[in-house]
């Protein structure tokens, strides 16, 4: 496990170790730093706490496989001309599932962006609901098939509606966290964004406000090193995105985003800190974007074949599979069963979504204009009648 912790001052290590500088890389042989009681000034490193069980890891693997199968199917549907556009989440699975496990979906908030398919699956959005979104079919619950896939607010999942405009979910997350703090509620808001989003003005304003008011919000940067085709070196002049946290008065952590256990540990401590009124945390998960930005992109024009292969070598799905095999949790028979179950579930959802109708044209304005409010025409008529009455009275 690799974790990098950023603070203003030196970080104290365990009692039998020497102090290290902020920014020191922690490897699997060193305890990851505690952020549950950290401040921007100093932090105390302690040994790793409660981790994921074998049952947890196997459940995460099942969801990863289902998410990956869905992702691949959506890509195929685009190539068949059925899905207008697809942003792949391949490479992001470990970080998002670790977040789902470390938080409490019954009370916490998730302010997402367009590459959150694994998280939505983990939170309970069904394959049918997601495929209806990609195909813009009637019954799609997030936006009624009116928006880009995975946009909108789900009636069962506390994932907020967001904009395709990059970064807008960050100040919204801060507003949600402020409301929770003012109400005295023990909730955590997690806002997801990419390295490209970290370059937006919304990011600075959100982190600055959250730091001043010590809000219960976790900024989770899924750094795949590309903002569409712009590499990280042309976006960020500093060593990392997480290093910026100290400027806003709260801790920043960089973690290997392909390692579910590493991300879970960091997320769990971040949740403990924010839930106990310790203020915000910035987590930078270093992940891989295995596929192009979307189905409209061709990454071979700006990434070499060698670089794309290196990204595939860090694919979190086979990495978790290897870990499960090494621990005796997964064998060939169980693996085949899990992949077959995922394929059956996606095939069934695909067939139902294909058969579903498109929304009727007559429903275009549903959810746009309230039926209990007067129309512009009726308001104008009322205004004319009132004006006429005043003239007659005069």
Q: Domains in the chain: how many in total?
A: 1
Of 218, 220, 209, 216, nearest in space to 278 by CA: 216
Q: What is the pLDDT of residue 386?
A: 67
Q: How far apart are CA 60 and CA 97, in angstroms?
A: 7
Catalytic residue of the set 4, 92, 154, 293: 293
The per-residue pLDDT for range 183-220, each reduced to its tens digit, is 999 999 999 999 999 999 999 999 999 999 999 999 99
- Does residue 383 belong to any structural domain of this protein? no
Element (H, E) at 219: strand 217-223
- Does residue 370 belong to any structural domain of this protein? no
Alpha-helix residue ranges (DSSP H) falling in the chain: 54-79, 93-102, 117-123, 127-135, 169-183, 201-213, 245-248, 260-275, 305-313, 316-326, 332-355, 376-393
- Does residue 22 belong to any structural domain of this protein? yes
Catalytic residue of the set 302, 322, 344, 390: 302
- Does residue 381 belong to any structural domain of this protein? no
302 is catalytic: yes
- Does residue 376 belong to any structural domain of this protein? no
The per-residue pLDDT for range 107-127, each reduced to its tens digit, is 999 999 989 999 999 999 999
Residues facing residue 5 across a β-bridge: 253
Burial 255-288 (b: 16+ CB within 10 A, else e): bbbbbbbbbbbbbbbbbbbbbeebbbbbbbbbbb
Tokens 């952020």 appear where? Answer: 35
Six-digit token pair at 267?
């997320």
289 is catalytic: yes
**DSSP three-state, residue 116:** coil
365 is catalytic: no
- Does residue 385 belong to any structural domain of this protein? no
- Does residue 172 belong to any structural domain of this protein? yes
Which CATH number does the domain housing residue 128 bear? 3.40.50.970
- The domain of 71 spans 3-363
Contact assessment for residue 276 and residue 36, using Cβ atoms and an 8 Å cutoff: yes
- Does residue 392 belong to any structural domain of this protein? no
The per-residue pLDDT for range 270-311, each reduced to its tens digit, is 999 999 999 999 999 999 999 999 999 999 999 999 999 999
């Amino acid at each position: 496990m690799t974790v990098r912790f950023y603070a203003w001052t030196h970080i104290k290590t365990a009692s039998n170790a020497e102090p290290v500088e902020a920014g020191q890389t922690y490897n699997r042989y060193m305890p990851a730093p505690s952020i549950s009681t950290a401040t921007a000034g100093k932090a105390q490193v302690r040994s790793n706490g409660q981790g994921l069980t074998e049952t947890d890891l196997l459940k995460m693997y099942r969801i990863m496989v289902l998410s990956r199968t869905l992702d691949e199917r959506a890509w195929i549907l685009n190539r068949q001309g059925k899905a207008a556009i697809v942003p792949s989440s391949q490479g992001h699975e470990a970080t998002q599932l670790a977040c789902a496990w470390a938080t409490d979906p019954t009370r916490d908030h998730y302010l997402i962006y367009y590459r959150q398919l694994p998280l939505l699956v983990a939170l309970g959005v069904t394959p049918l609901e997601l495929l209806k979104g990609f195909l813009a079919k009637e019954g799609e619950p997030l936006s009624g098939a009116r928006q880009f896939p995975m946009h909108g607010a789900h009636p069962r999942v506390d994932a907020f509606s967001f904009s395709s405009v990059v970064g807008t979910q960050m100040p919204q997350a801060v507003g949600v966290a402020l409301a929770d703090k003012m109400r005295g509620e023990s909730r955590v808001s997690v806002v997801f964004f990419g390295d490209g989003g970290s370059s937006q003005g919304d990011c600075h304003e959100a982190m600055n406000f959250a730091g001043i008011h010590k809000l219960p919000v976790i900024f989770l940067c899924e750094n795949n090193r590309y903002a569409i085709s712009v590499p990280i070196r042309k976006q960020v002049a500093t060593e990392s995105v997480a290093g910026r946290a100290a400027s806003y008065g709260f801790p920043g952590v960089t973690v290997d985003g392909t390692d579910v256990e590493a991300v879970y540990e960091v997320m769990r401590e971040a949740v403990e800190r924010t839930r106990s009124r310790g203020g915000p945390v910035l987590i930078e998960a270093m992940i891989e974007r295995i596929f192009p930005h979307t189905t409209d992109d061709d990454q071979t024009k700006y990434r070499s074949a060698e670089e794309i292969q290196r990204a595939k070598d860090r694919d979190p799905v086979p990495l978790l599979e290897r870990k499960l095999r090494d621990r005796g949790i997964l064998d060939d028979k169980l693996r085949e069963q899990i992949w077959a179950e995922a394929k059956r579930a996606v095939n069934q959802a695909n067939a139902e979504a294909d058969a579903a109708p498109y929304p009727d044209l007559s429903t275009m304005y549903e959810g746009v204009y309230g039926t209990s409010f007067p129309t512009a025409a009726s308001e104008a008529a009322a205004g004319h009648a009132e004006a006429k009455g005043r003239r007659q009275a005069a």
